[in-house]
Amino acid sequence: MNITVVGTGYVGLVAGACLAETGNQVVGADVDLKKIEGLKRNVLPIYEPGLDRLVERNQAAGRLTFTTDVGAAIAHASVVFIAVGTPPDEDGSADLRHVLAVAEEIGRHMARETVVVTKSTVPVGTAAKVAECVARNAKYPFHVVSNPEFLKEGAAVDDFMKPDRVVLGAETDHARSVMAELYAPFVRTGKPIIFMDVPSAEMTKYAANAMLATRISFMNDIANLCERVGANVDHVRKGIGSDDRIGPAFLFPGPGYGGSCFPKDVKALVRTARDQATCLRILEAVESVNEDQKHRMFQKLMSAVGDDLQGARIAVWGLAFKPNTDDMREAPALTLIEDLLAAGATVAAHDPVAMDEARRRLAHAGDRVRFASSSYDALDGADALAVVTDWNEYRHPDFGRIKQTLKRPLIVDGRNLYALHRMADMGFTYHSVGRPSVAQ
């Protein structure tokens, strides 16, 4: 099948490479010349485990190509995926300008009956707007499909190749037939392709992310209460997660959720509700709790180091919003670092893969943020260590080396990586999330 994916960001690049892997002829189109030239040389604009090998292999086999000629790429295809960005506007709504601009291009350049697939995360009603834009210039029949993505950053290739479900909003037999054929190789183990109407598919993506964000904020609220009453959130989490009606996923407290999906999608869904003269009170609270949670690590450091952080140096381990990605959009580490800088502290930061992105985002800080060559290098001369992202290499560090290098044996752990008894035995002052503090 001839497929074009317009947009070579996180969603589009993963989708294009995985669709090429199953034998399709895929063109990745983007107006960003620098990005396309890099992709032609197998230089990826994002870090995602396994994606580099997939792109390289399929380019070498001739199944995957990249171009800035969006019109020609559309003319090549019988299926066109729209996978461009939908950043939030100031009011929280999704910015659909790029999506609708691509739809206009599809109408102008399609050369045959075409299935137009919205892969970008878009609010309910977007498919109808896409159809209007395509129809203005279309000379051939077309079918608009909503195909929301459910990829986890850090495991996106596996999620696409082995999905737990494929959601398709399709309302014509032709669209359902084409999409069923396209996704058949990915659901051979019996996972479902769920066909539904287009608005329901659009809502499903937002509802799924909103539910997961709700669980995170709920557990963060519970963790904060645990600290007040002397309970241990690790025990609470296991106790409630063992209930089959609840389950264990997304019950880990932390420094707040970030990334490209949860913050943006919660805001967009809240805005959609307001536009419909209603409100999603739970989600409004979820958003508020998350914003507050992002400042909790700073508050813990203030309390532990002293109310005046002027001149203090804090080591920060982990900059990406989660492990196995270099994505720093809405990352809790950014909030922590900005809070520290505002209080007069300096920062020594380390992350296994997000250092280049961090340098770009924190360029305004100048030499007040030092980017360490290793996790242990970040500790040199620091008054405390803040653990923000749960990368594997931070899970079992050399605690003796940490204690020897820090000015004082103080760790504020936003991910609850370390056992309380181990911290006590090693002589650390240790603060985590929703668990009793260890004080020396």
Q: Is 226 a catalytic residue?
A: no
Q: What whole-number distance in Å separates Cα of residue 110 and Cα of residue 13?
A: 21
Q: Which of 357, 215, 192 is nearest to 282 (CA)?
A: 215
How many CA atoms are closer than 13 Å to the CA of 52, on its beta-carbon side?
Answer: 12
Q: Taking the CB of residue 287, how many other CB atoms lie within 10 A of it? A: 21
Q: What whole-number distance in Å separates Cα of residue 171 and Cα of residue 174?
A: 9
Catalytic: which of 133, 226, 261, 279? 261
Quick check: 113 and 174 in contact, CB under 8 A? yes
Quick check: 90 and 22 in contact, CB under 8 A? no
Alpha-carbon torsion angle 342, 318, 216, 87, nearest 10:
70
Q: Taking the CB of residue 236, how many other CB atoms lie within 10 A of it? A: 18
How many CA atoms are closer than 13 Å to the CA of 216, on its beta-carbon side?
Answer: 25
Helix (H, G, I), strand (E, B) or coil at 291: helix
Q: Which of 116, 98, 35, 29 is nearest to 69 (CA)?
A: 29
Whole-number Cα distances in Å, 228 to 219, 222, 239, 415: 14, 10, 19, 18
Q: Which residues are catalytic?
A: 261
